[in-house]
Amino acid sequence: MTMTKARSIASQCQAAYDVAPIIGALSTDAKNAGLVAMAQALKIHSAAILTANEKDLSYGRSAGISTALLDRLTLTPARIEGMADSLLAIRDLEDPIGEVLTAWTLENGLAISKVRVPFGVIGIIYEARPNVTADAIGLAIKSSNCVVLRGSKSAIHSNQIISNTLRDAFVSQGGPAGAIQLLEDTTHEGVTELVQMKQYLSLVIPRGGAGLIKRVVETATVPAIETGVGNCHVYVDQSADLKAAVSIAVNAKVQRPSVCNACETVLVHKDVASTLLPLLSTPLKESNVVIRGCEKTKVLLPDCELATEDDWYEEYHDLILAIRVVDSIDEALTHIRQYGSMHTEAILSENPEAISKFLNQVDAAAVIANASTRFTDGGVFGFGAEMGISTQKLHARGPMGLKELTTYKYIVKGDGQIRT
């Protein structure tokens, strides 16, 4: 890595740090005006954004990027419209900054309040998905944070035009330009440097594959949030409505297989396996899903591939589904505990006791009864968008919206008290 790149990363982080007090002091009205201008700008510049995105797609195809990753990279008029809508949804959310979480007065008259405040500067590292650029900027601005973005090489043209478009719109409404930074350096070394900028950054959020997240968590000196790795399961209990189970399991795998809340493994109770699996295999095959099954599954679905131990750990990001027949809900829980990534786990059942047991015992950021895993999403949850889905337990867990991008401080007001 050259010294020029080192100075560039440091200077961009410092530029964001320098204006953090300015954005921290912006009113809700000012931030909302910026978000509206951003949404309008995306629509106005939609054609130019699509042209830039086509450059990235062309590069991706020539580089042999998988179909699933190309889907994550692709922008369409509808997806750009969705990005704009997300910004407006964030605009409509209550501003978390300044919220008094609790307050009390001591016997000596000191008035203490616990107040929500921004982090300051947040770094986000992400792969392929250029819509994350808009989501991250919108959430950062509404939560009064500056943001330093490091996207992947595969999406550089898309990320550049989106970030420039949104920055110009924000500045047109009086916002500081330094609050939005997109790094040009897309090297692995640049990631390591970014996550060690603790003099400027308060938090880093890696959003991508397991390798990226592991590298960031292990090398960061800035506090980091683990996000995104989603080895998600759907367990079909013996009491499940099998027609609904087929619909839900297919949706969880097929609706968008490249994202982290897609189902990777279906666990089926042995008492319903012989009925369910033939019903499930038909729509899966119609959607070109490759099934990798355990030995019991292979008996019931002879055309499926035999799963290996590695399949139970795999986050495919593709039209591949692992299926395992289990003897009981306890065996399903044991499987999830061993192989799951603490992202999203679902049970399909008509038995209240089984549902309660599953929801209470599964250790994951989101546990779902009788619905698709695809619903674990910041926008769906009502957060407008998300900065990522945290699979850890400290500070934030699950979809990270506005409140998860804040911390708090204690404000103490006195009238001359001294401690004796």
Q: Which helix (H) or strand (E) holds 32?
A: helix 28-44
Domain ranges of the chain: 3-225+400-413, 232-375
Query: Shortest CA distance to 248 belongs to which of 238, 234, 230?
Result: 234
Q: Are 311 and 292 in contact (CB under 8 A)?
A: yes
What would be the CATH architecture of the domain defined by 232-375?
3-Layer(aba) Sandwich (3.40)
Model confidence at 414: pLDDT above 80: yes
Q: Is 326 left (phi over 0), alpha (psi -120 to 50) or beta?
A: beta
- The topology (CATH level 3) of 3-225+400-413 is Aldehyde Dehydrogenase; Chain A, domain 1 (3.40.605)
Strands lying side by side in the sheet with 111-118: 100-105, 111-118, 406-413
Roughly what angle, to the nearest 10 degrees, separates helices 46-62 and 156-172? Answer: 160
Torsion angle in degrees (nearest 10) through CA of 392, 396, 401, 406:
-140
Query: Shortest CA distance to 277 belongs to which of 261, 262, 293, 290?
Result: 293
pLDDT average, residue stretch 252-263: 94
Mean pLDDT value across the chain: 95
Model confidence at 72: pLDDT above 50: yes
User: What is the DSSP annotation of 350-370?
Assistant: S-HHHHHHHHHH--SSEEEES
Q: What is the pTM of this model?
A: 0.89
Model confidence at 6: pLDDT above 50: no
pLDDT per residue as tens digits for the range 143-158: 999 999 999 999 999 9
What percentage of the chain's residues is helix, strand, coil (to nearest 5)?
Answer: 45, 20, 35
CA dihedral over 322, 370, 387, 403, signed as positive or negative:
negative
